[in-house]
Structure 1
Amino acid sequence: MASSSPLATVTDVQARTDAQLSPEQEARVAVLIADASALARQRVPDLPDPPPATTPGVICTAVLRALASPADGNTSETVGGHSRTAAHAGGGLYLTDDELDLLRPPVPAPRATFTIWTV
């Protein structure tokens, strides 16, 4: 996979939500996938090729989270009796530490060294 290839597809995102994406949302999702893919590669420079099987899910989660963020950048909003606060101060598109861990190559098993004492 080329390093600029998206790490997920619009179809992957659609499969992870009950809401039907409009053509406008699909276009935004494609841009967010490209941005999330670039962010993942920047934050995990040793991202394996091919990437781990967890990668599409991680990218889709970040995209869906960005779609759920208020479009105007507000961190909270209230409509009638309903109030919502963004869980991430920056809002928008980001990857959590746990998500980044899912993208990193597995840590090799430690090789133990030992000493045999003779008397």
Structure 2
Amino acid sequence: MPQPPPDIAVGVVSTAVIRALATPADGLSTETVGEVARTAAHAGSGGLYFTADELELLRPVPPAPRGAFTIWTV
């Protein structure tokens, strides 16, 4: 991650943590208690991960081109 981190980093990391905490620890994708049922938004074993879109938001911005250049004249 670039230093200093981008302003959006706190939100992106918080979203990943909330997603990990919201996933059932036992890996179940659905659970039912009485008449109430819940389905996890992300199937699988859970855990902390970043989506491709989140990783794109965390990538450093490439620096502006600098340096010498050549102008060709005829």
Q: TM-score, normalised by structure 1?
A: 0.47
Contact 2:24 2:40 in 1 (8 A): no
Structure ranking higher in helix proportion: 1
- Secondary structure at the aligned position of 1:49 is classed as coil
Aligned to 2:5: 51
Structure ranking higher in strand proportion: 2
Higher RCO structure, 1 or 2 (CA under 8 Å, sep 6+)? 2
Q: TM-score, normalised by structure 2?
A: 0.70
Aligned to 1:8: none
Aligned to 1:77: 30
Structure 1 gaps, min length 5: 1-46
Structure 2 gaps, min length 5: none
Q: Quote the sequence identity (%).
A: 50
Structure 1 runs, 4 residues or longer, greater than 4 Å off: 113-117
The answer as to 2:41 corresponding to 1:89 is no
CA offsets 1:60-81 (integer angstroms, 9 cap, x no match): 000110111012122x113146
Q: CA deviation at 1:93?
A: 1.1
Q: Aligned residues, how many?
A: 70
